[in-house]
Amino acid sequence: MAMGQCARRLPTSTTFAESLALIIQQRNLIAESTFAETIPSAGKHRREVTALAENAVAKILNVEVPSDKFARSGADLSARAAGFAEGH
């Protein structure tokens, strides 16, 4: 199975436990590790770092990010985090 093919076959509403059960049921399992580039986190809000990580994983798997909340750009998230910190 090509990398990312399994991710495209699973419905987005699959829970972690359901996904784990599917993996455990397999007679043979071949795991492949792929490392993304380092995500700089200095001075960034944790949500911005999360969004960057989500996008990096989606790019490696060649799938779309499942939710638009993670598709925002780093600048959008930085501005939003700054507004939140100021109480807006």
Q: Please say if the pLDDT value at position 56 is more than 60.
A: yes
Domain count, the chain: 1
Backbone angles phi, psi at 78, to 5 degrees: -65, -45
Rounded average pLDDT over 13-19: 84
How high is the mean pLDDT of the chain?
76
Can you give the residue range of the structural domain that contains 16?
Answer: 5-85
46-59 burial: b if 16+ Cβ within 10 Å, else e? ebbbebbebbeebe
Predicted TM-score (pTM) of the model is 0.48
Q: How far apart are CA 45 and CA 43, in angstroms?
A: 7
pLDDT in the model for residue 32: 86
pLDDT in the model for residue 78: 60
Q: How far apart are CA 46 and CA 31, in angstroms?
A: 29
Residues 7, 54 contacting (CB under 8 angstroms): no
More confident: 64 or 53:
53
Q: Please say if the pLDDT value at position 60 is more than 50.
A: yes
